[in-house]
Structure 1
């Protein structure tokens, strides 16, 4: 054949060139997006008709007066430029050398037979001024006081005011079965169950009657804190709260995790495995979850098959595990088990309680959070509320907000600690003579080993100095935190 007439198809080269150009435009677009996000101001959504607190100051005035960090904005670490990077790093990095603390654990048996693990720092043996603030902290899904984001917050809250802290005491509420808390009830916890938090608040109120109390929640724990503030309303013993990465719309968050996007599938799969791994030790016959009277009993064959089948585990979705576990044993009241996942998500949605909150509350969320997406943020409900402020930050991911350098002692510096302390300190400073006074004095009665306040009762089971909690419970082992 005459070489002059030979023909070599150019389609592969054209396709490769087109893909290269598309990839360049894709990378350039995201680079511009990341750069512009770094300079985007934090958006604050306030109530349209804010109500004054007992000191005559509204939450709008409080934020304007105290929260300088919300005005200055957040600049993510250059090496963690987007939400996926921040989220994955928060879950996968080694934080074992950071914020090493030793808690004093109080095990509380409650009236339904359940057990709460309340980790206190500094220990009760350390004497603080009677009016030193006490902060209740709720961890995320299957987490505990060992989580790096919890330890970091505890360290800063308990630092002296002169060192940038709150000068108080922290109590981390480890939900049932979490962080080595023994599971002694036939049900677990969920975003709709506030019994453990309420009991912890009343217990610490008896130990520190003159102390102003506050609440801080992370992710699932933030949802519990939001609901609690709303349930208690005008009678809430907490003087204010901060909720971080709160899934305020449970349906949007849950069904959003069913997206086929590869990274979203990773988050959904990780959360599913966290739930599965947390209940696996309780599938033995002697466990209350496996007892025939437990609502989970009918799902045991399917759950056990999941633990044994790799093929089924790699296709798991968060919504499926919530349907199997949270819908059936996510609380102990007469509503359980729920017939449908939709019914459970509607009931447990913390956004339903925003209008009932009567204490200054600051919600902080990242718009690039790949788990609690911006689509679940209830701007309308915030504007119609009386005491809530929503701060939306362009960067930060889920439980990330790293702003430190690539190397050095400040590498794991987290930004969200600053607005949290500013907000809580602002409430303390607004009227120091009234903050420590409760609207209603506690009427405590003792019956043997039990302590009662109204219909809420508890028994202190043990006091243990918990050592080795700096990352020993699985957070540093590669699971995504929530």
Structure 2
């Protein structure tokens, strides 16, 4: 699979030999190719995107997404459930809608993984999840949705000497164990945004046919972290706006959780913390070389010898060929944060790659309001959740240990359990110390 700097044109790339997928309720045709299904069911994917004239390039689109307030658009309220992980960490799962009286136990579920320092409050998440969770009679899909808020983000406390990285998939894996146990008859779809898209792709590749997600959608995935980081650090605007913005965001996650993190003084994280907290205006790669690549994960794997070895390990383009469920990936060729994107999927029959000429990073704003990307994603969700046949009995088996942790059979080293109700979360409020939309 190759990653390149593609020409700026609207392109949808199908595998040379698309997967043939089983269909529900078809009298004459029990199977159909992924290509023909997308062409007939996801028509919005082929419609060219044209931004408002005043959002004239990728920087303008991304800056608009980052700086403007969208609190009155796609409003969402969630019910939070707190998961304790077997390593002592904590995840916050935000469920919507709060009133589920109209949902069945087999209603499809959309699980969202936010970007670098995001959470369920992000406008790009609400642009998808609001219509996905709206009742059918009101024009929505009528699905249950869940946002996986990572350690230390969106009000989730830090309770172990570990945060998160773009290369680790275990936290998503544990969230899916819990969700699938709560709703064993429901098909689960995944949608990832930016860094969360990379985590989603890596999870799908690692799980193969055992994935708890029956399909996925990756939006603005960074893919090759090494190549994109080098490009991000070269151009003046990229380096001083976006690379520094992301580095400062990560530093602010540490500062927000400083009291808890300082409690791990006897752990390598505690030794690396003071230098990271003292950074004034770090770029993403400088923060990662100071902190994430050194103490971002288990001591058996960390530290990495340098930041680019860490980025290479955490990249998702190298595993795209291993995905074994339908996956739609959408990128924009003018995205200032993601310059290099795949031009093929290594022959993977399950992967559809789409590129728009414009859009910025998680922008795709339309002149009349809303975002172009919403319709293609909703059509993909409806296709994969409602038209395809899945055997949910093939999900990995789970047992409950003596401490109440859900664990996969054969993966005894990781588990999760519910530790409490986090109450109602207003998804329309965003933290003030972050550059949003990334």
TM-score (norm 2): 0.90
Q: Equivalent residue of 1:53, what SS?
A: strand
| Larger helix fraction of residues | 1
What displacement does 1:94 show?
1.3
Q: 2:381 aligns with which of 424, 434, 443?
A: 424
Matched, 1:479 2:438: no
Measure the CA separation in 2 of the matches of 1:64 and 1:186. Answer: 47
The residue correspondences of 1:85-100 to structure 2 (distance < 5 A) are 85-100=60-75
Counterpart residue number, 2:215: 240
Alignment partner of 1:59 out of 31, 34, 38:
34
Q: Does 1:78 align with 2:67?
A: no
Corresponding residue for residue 14 of structure 1:
none
Task: Map Cα deviations across residues 162-191 of structure 1 (whole Å, 9 max, x no partner).
Answer: 544322111100000000101011111111
**2 CA distance for matches of 1:113 and 1:390?**
38
Aligned to 2:355: 392
Gaps of 5+ in 2: 1-6, 24-30
Q: What is the count of residue pairs matched by the alignment?
A: 422
Mapped to 1, the partners of 2:106 and 2:188 lie a distance apart of 10
Q: Distance in 1 between matches of 2:148 and 2:9?
A: 33
Relative distance call for 1:440 and 1:460 in structure 2 (3 A) is closer
Distance 2:315 2:111 in 1: 21
1:74 partner SS:
coil
Q: 1:60 to 1:225 in 2, by over 3 A?
A: same
Map 1:275-290 onto structure 2 (within 5 A): 275-284=250-259, 287-288=260-261
3-state SS in 2 of match to 1:300: helix
Residue of structure 2 equivalent to 1:356: 322
In structure 1, list runs of 5 or more residues that go unmatched: 1-36, 307-312, 406-410
Verify the 8 A CA contact 2:397 2:408 in the aligned structure 1.
yes
1:157 aligns with 2:122: no
- The CA distance in 2 between the partners of 1:354 and 1:54, in whole Å, is 22
SS of residue matched to 2:392: coil
Q: Could you tell me which residue of structure 2 aligns to residue 22 of structure 1?
A: none
- CA change 1:190–1:354 in 2 (3 A) is same
Q: How far apart, in 2, do the equivalents of 1:263 and 1:354 lie?
A: 27
| Residue pair 1:288, 1:294 contacting (<8 A) in 2 also | no
Residues 443 and 276 (structure 1 numbering): CA distance in 2 closer, same or farther, change over 3 Å? closer
Q: In 2 relative to 1, CA 332–59 (structure 1 residues): closer, same or farther, beyond 3 Å?
A: farther
**1:230 matches 2:189:** no
**Whole-Å Cα distance in 1 between the matches of residues 403 and 284 of structure 2?**
43
Q: Distance in 2 between matches of 1:59 and 1:280?
A: 46
Tell me which residue corresponds to 1:5: none
Q: Distance in 1 between matches of 2:208 and 2:137?
A: 33
- Structure 2 match to 1:378: 342
Matches within 5 A, 1:28-427: 42-55=10-23, 56-123=31-98, 126-284=101-259, 287-288=260-261, 291-306=264-279, 313-314=280-281, 316-332=282-298, 334-373=300-339, 376-380=340-344, 382-405=345-368, 411=369, 413-427=370-384
The structural deviation recorded for 1:125 is 5.3
| 2:214 partner SS | strand
Note the alpha carbon deviations across 1:385-419, whole angstroms, 9 max, x for none: 221111000010001010033xxxxx3x0111111
Task: Confirm or deny that 1:451 pairs with 2:409.
Answer: no
Q: Could you tell me the TM-score, scaled by structure 1's length?
A: 0.82
Displacement of 1:76: 1.2
Root mean square deviation of aligned Cα: 2.1
Give the distance between the partners of 1:244 and 1:65, measured in 2 at CA: 21
State the 1:481 CA deviation: 2.6
Relative to structure 2, which stretch is displaced further, 70-79 or 200-209? 70-79
Structure (1 or 2) with the larger CA radius of gyration: 1
Q: Do the aligned partners of residues 82 and 227 (structure 1) sit closer, same or farther apart at CA in structure 2, a change above 3 Å counting?
A: same
Deviation at 1:216, TM superposition (A): 0.2
